[in-house]
């Protein structure tokens, strides 16, 4: 049963998901650092900093999921186009 679950296709999809989420979180962290450099420290509180970090990481995870879906669409459309003879 485990051999059927760990086929090369499943492993590839899991790796693509993990890599896209890592890239998304990295983008969220990068934009959070950019936010900290742009906003003057005197105008921001600890609550605002913490909530901005959560928001940036959440948006980063969303970007990672969207990248994964975009890759899936590309993979399935490439497979569909190979089958279709023009």
Tens digits of pLDDT across the chain (86 residues): 455 677 888 899 999 999 999 999 999 999 999 999 999 988 899 999 999 999 999 999 999 999 999 999 998 888 788 876 65
- Are 39 and 81 in contact by the 8 Å Cβ rule? The answer is no
Q: Which two tokens stand for residue 37?
A: 């450099």
Question: Coil, strand or helix: which one is 64?
Answer: helix
- pLDDT for residue 50: 94
List, in order, residues 6 or more apart from 23 with CB less than 8 Å away.
Answer: 63, 64, 67
């Amino acid at each position: 049963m485990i051999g059927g679950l760990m086929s090369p296709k499943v492993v590839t999809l899991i790796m693509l998901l993990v890599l896209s989420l890592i890239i998304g979180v990295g983008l969220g962290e990068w934009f959070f650092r950019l936010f900290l450099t742009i906003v003057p420290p005197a105008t921001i509180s600890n609550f605002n900093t913490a909530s901005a970090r959560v928001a940036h990481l959440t948006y980063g995870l969303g970007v990672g999921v969207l990248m994964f879906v975009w890759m899936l669409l590309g993979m399935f459309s490439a497979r569909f186009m190979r089958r279709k003879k023009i």
